Amino acid sequence: MYPVEAFRVRDMAQIRAFVEQHPFATLIATGANGAYVTTHLPLLVRSWGDQIVLRGHVMRHTDHWAALQHAPNVFVCFLGPDAPVLGSWQLTPRFGGTWNYQALHLRGIVQPRDRTTLLAHLEELKNRFESSPAHRFSSLPDDYLQALAPRIECIDILATDIECMFKLSQNRCVEEFDRTAFELRRQGGRSALVAQEMSTRRALYYPDAPDCEDG
């Protein structure tokens, strides 16, 4: 990520809200042969304070499960919506184009959890995303759970470092910011989601509506 202070998010409440809004993460570990092993999984906030803990689960006897047994240090990435930002939308020719995005990078240490914790995690996960009351966790047959539980392992990731960046054109003048948000909204899809995030933060980024400058 660009190490630009204008894009950095330090407010932990904003960061937590971002994780809870975009829980599907990329988890990267290192295998015994030194190669990176990557998987994708939902991670839920278990603790947020002096110690940030994320909880998820992985399939046993897979390459990423074996990597976690070898080295518990992991890298986690959460991504929000993203979209290209075109030079033709700007007021100055000194702009080649860029990309707006929201991203959180987290480094942490994996700790395995027991079966009881696993079942509690699966219940929380299913009940959070299941829209039908008739299909809550309590509706699952016991024999299904008995067969499933030995095949997966619950893990906690204890955060050791967090870096969050929201690159949303806030380093441009307000006129260019507004033009970019307008064009992204017109494109629809993920681009419109970026525009929505920009609009939500416009007052924060431009409390005094600075003039546009060349550069």
In a domain, 178, yes or no: no
Instruction: Say how far apart CA 88 and CA 189 lie, in whole Å.
Output: 20
In a domain, 204, yes or no: no
The DSSP result for 80-113, as a single string, is ---EEE-GGGSSSS----EEEEEEEEEEEEEEE-
Listed range (104-113, 119-128, 206-215) with the worst mean pLDDT: 206-215
In a domain, 167, yes or no: yes
> What average pLDDT does the structure give for the chain?
94
Listed range (14-23, 84-93, 118-127, 145-154) with the worst mean pLDDT: 84-93
In a domain, 188, yes or no: no
User: How many helical (H) and strand (E) elements, i.e. helices and strands, does the chain have?
Assistant: 6, 8
pLDDT class of 212 with cuts at 50, 70, 90:
low
pLDDT at residue 214, rounded to an integer: 44
Calculate the dihedral angle through the C-alpha atoms of 22, 53, 162, 98, rounding to the nearest 10 degrees: -10
What integer is the mean pLDDT of 58-71? 95
pLDDT at residue 187, rounded to an integer: 95
Instruction: Tell whether the model's pLDDT for residue 22 goes beyond 80.
Output: yes
Number of domain units in the chain: 1
CA 6 to chain centre: 19
Rounded to two decimals, the pTM is 0.91
Listed range (103-107, 114-118, 146-150, 204-208) with the worst mean pLDDT: 204-208
pLDDT at residue 95, rounded to an integer: 86
pLDDT at residue 46, rounded to an integer: 96
User: Residue 29 sits in a domain of what CATH number?
Assistant: 2.30.110.10
In a domain, 210, yes or no: no
In a domain, 55, yes or no: yes
Instruction: Tell whether the model's pLDDT for residue 210 goes beyond 60.
Output: no
pLDDT at residue 92, rounded to an integer: 85
pLDDT class of 1 with cuts at 50, 70, 90:
confident
Instruction: Say how far apart CA 176 and CA 92 lie, in whole Å.
Output: 9
Tokens of 179: 């033009």
Backbone phi and psi for residue 64, each to the nearest 5 degrees, phi listed first: -75, -30
In a domain, 90, yes or no: no
Instruction: Tell whether the model's pLDDT for residue 185 goes beyond 50.
Output: yes
pLDDT at residue 107, rounded to an integer: 98
Instruction: Tell whether the model's pLDDT for residue 180 goes beyond 90.
Output: yes
In a domain, 185, yes or no: no
Instruction: Tell whether the model's pLDDT for residue 215 goes beyond 80.
Output: no
pLDDT class of 196 with cuts at 50, 70, 90:
very high
Instruction: Say how far apart CA 144 and CA 19 lie, in whole Å.
Output: 30
Enclosing domain of residue 77: 5-84+97-172
